[in-house]
Amino acid sequence: MRQEAQARQASIPPRLPVEAKSRINQQERDKRLKSPDMIKHESDVTPAVLAVMEQTQDPRLRQIMISLIKHLHGFIRDVHLTEEELRTAARLIISIGQQSSDTHNEAILLAGSLGISSLVCLLNNGENGTKETSQSLLGPFWRLNSPQVENGGSLLRSPTPGPALFMSARVIDQAGQPVIGAQVDIWHSSPVGYYENQDQAQADFNLRGTFTTNEEGRFWFRSVRPAGYPVPTNGIVGQLLSAQNRHPYRPAHIHALIFKPGFKTLISQVYADDDPHLTTDVQFGVTRALIGHFERHEEPHAQATDAGSPWYSLDYTYVMEQGEARLPTPPIK
Ligand SMILES: [Fe+2]
């Protein structure tokens, strides 16, 4: 406890004795009161804060802080924020932190629910937002080191009832050439909408696997059809959704993380075209380029599935952009 108190003390700036602070003459006092920098009305606040923000040394941080102040002050004027609402906002921010843990990030969930994650993704991909892109959101459940699976193999590591799925995909570059030898990490929810890390009934790494693209840039596998699922609603995001009469569902999707040196790591989600929530994704992650056609088949097919019929096939083409191959920090272990 004493160490904590000492550390706290060390971080507090030193005080000036009152004598040193108050030795200014009347002339100086009058000058200060008449200074154009003195805040007199609400309209004086923003220029005063912007002048301070201008002093930020790091150029990117300066740019961000100046723009943030302009927009935040503009927003406050726009809605005429009340003092009580400001205190409520501070409490909400504290709650977002308190509701986050090693396995749950309420801040990212909120960013998704406000369209911020989608906007940042689309701004920074597809040639800086000028073209449609295969990039999407990482989501909260990517795990490192999912087991390597041969092309044509299965993602099932424990019995997982539900309609079978055969996915066949191609990875190409922006010129349409195959991306050979890329590592493709696939993960998806079960036919009842649970990832293996959320579900006692599934084996470790069930519905997860890593593939290597062949000389045509292709990979393919057998699995079961994922279902859509609700995002957690026991926090701030749940309160927001209920205040806005919004459902909490994400449409069914298949996650991919595709890694090959020389290319920007492709983080993608392919959404089922027949899902009832396709156009109302609570996270605003669905874009036209990410919609996959889940084709239903009534006739059994030995190669595609060993689970009989009906079964679904999905063909999809991922497009990688040039860039730096960097792995994100896994949200869970
Ligand atoms: Fe997901």
Cβ contact 165:222 at 8 Å: yes
pLDDT of residue 333: 75
Task: Determine the distance separating the centroid of ligand 1 and the alpha carbon of 308, expressed in angstroms.
Answer: 26
Task: Determine the distance separating the centroid of ligand 1 and the alpha carbon of 253, expressed in angstroms.
Answer: 6
pLDDT of residue 32: 80
Higher pLDDT, 11 or 124: 124
Task: Determine the distance separating the centroid of ligand 1 and the alpha carbon of 195, expressed in angstroms.
Answer: 8
Mean pLDDT of 247-256: 98
Give the number of other CB atoms < 10 A from CB of residue 333.
9
Task: Determine the distance separating the centroid of ligand 1 and the alpha carbon of 37, expressed in angstroms.
Answer: 51
Cβ contact 143:187 at 8 Å: yes
Task: Determine the distance separating the centroid of ligand 1 and the alpha carbon of 214, expressed in angstroms.
Answer: 26
In 3-state terms, what secondary structure has residue 129?
helix
Task: Determine the distance separating the centroid of ligand 1 and the alpha carbon of 226, expressed in angstroms.
Answer: 10
Distance of CA 79 to the CA centre of its chain: 28
Task: Determine the distance separating the centroid of ligand 1 and the alpha carbon of 306, expressed in angstroms.
Answer: 25
Task: Determine the distance separating the centroid of ligand 1 and the alpha carbon of 139, expressed in angstroms.
Answer: 6
Task: Determine the distance separating the centroid of ligand 1 and the alpha carbon of 166, expressed in angstroms.
Answer: 18
Task: Determine the distance separating the centroid of ligand 1 and the alpha carbon of 140, expressed in angstroms.
Answer: 7
pLDDT of residue 305: 67
Task: Determine the distance separating the centroid of ligand 1 and the alpha carbon of 122, expressed in angstroms.
Answer: 18
**What's the mean per-residue pLDDT of the chain?**
92
Task: Determine the distance separating the centroid of ligand 1 and the alpha carbon of 90, expressed in angstroms.
Answer: 30
pTM for this model (two decimals): 0.88
Q: Cis (ω within 30 of 0) for the bond into 232?
A: no
Burial degree of 25 (CB within 10 A; 0-12, 13-18, 19+) = exposed
Mean pLDDT of 7-27: 73
The CATH number given to 107-320 is 2.60.130.10
Task: Determine the distance separating the centroid of ligand 1 and the alpha carbon of 255, expressed in angstroms.
Answer: 6
Helices 45-53 and 59-79 sit at what angle, rounded to 10 degrees? 170
Mean pLDDT of 78-99: 97
The pLDDT > 90 percentage for the chain reads 79
Give the number of other CB atoms < 10 A from CB of residue 197.
17
The model's pLDDT over 102-160, given as tens digits with 9 standing for 90+, comes to 888 999 999 999 999 999 999 999 988 999 999 999 998 999 999 999 999 999 999 99
Cβ contact 179:263 at 8 Å: yes
Task: Determine the distance separating the centroid of ligand 1 and the alpha carbon of 51, expressed in angstroms.
Answer: 44
Q: Cα separation of 138 and 141, whole Å? A: 8
Burial degree of 51 (CB within 10 A; 0-12, 13-18, 19+) = exposed
Rounded alpha-carbon distances, angstroms, from residue 179 to 50, 120, 164, 216: 48, 26, 27, 7
CATH 2.60.130.10 residue window(s) in the chain: 107-320
Task: Determine the distance separating the centroid of ligand 1 and the alpha carbon of 112, expressed in angstroms.
Answer: 12
The model's pLDDT over 261-298, given as tens digits with 9 standing for 90+, comes to 999 999 999 999 999 999 999 999 999 999 999 999 98
Task: Determine the distance separating the centroid of ligand 1 and the alpha carbon of 196, expressed in angstroms.
Answer: 12
The model's pLDDT over 191-232, given as tens digits with 9 standing for 90+, comes to 999 999 989 999 999 999 999 999 999 999 999 999 999 999
Higher pLDDT, 24 or 209: 209
pLDDT of residue 22: 66
Task: Determine the distance separating the centroid of ligand 1 and the alpha carbon of 147, expressed in angstroms.
Answer: 19
The model's pLDDT over 127-140, given as tens digits with 9 standing for 90+, comes to 889 999 999 999 98
- With a cut of 70, say whether residue 1 has pLDDT above it: no
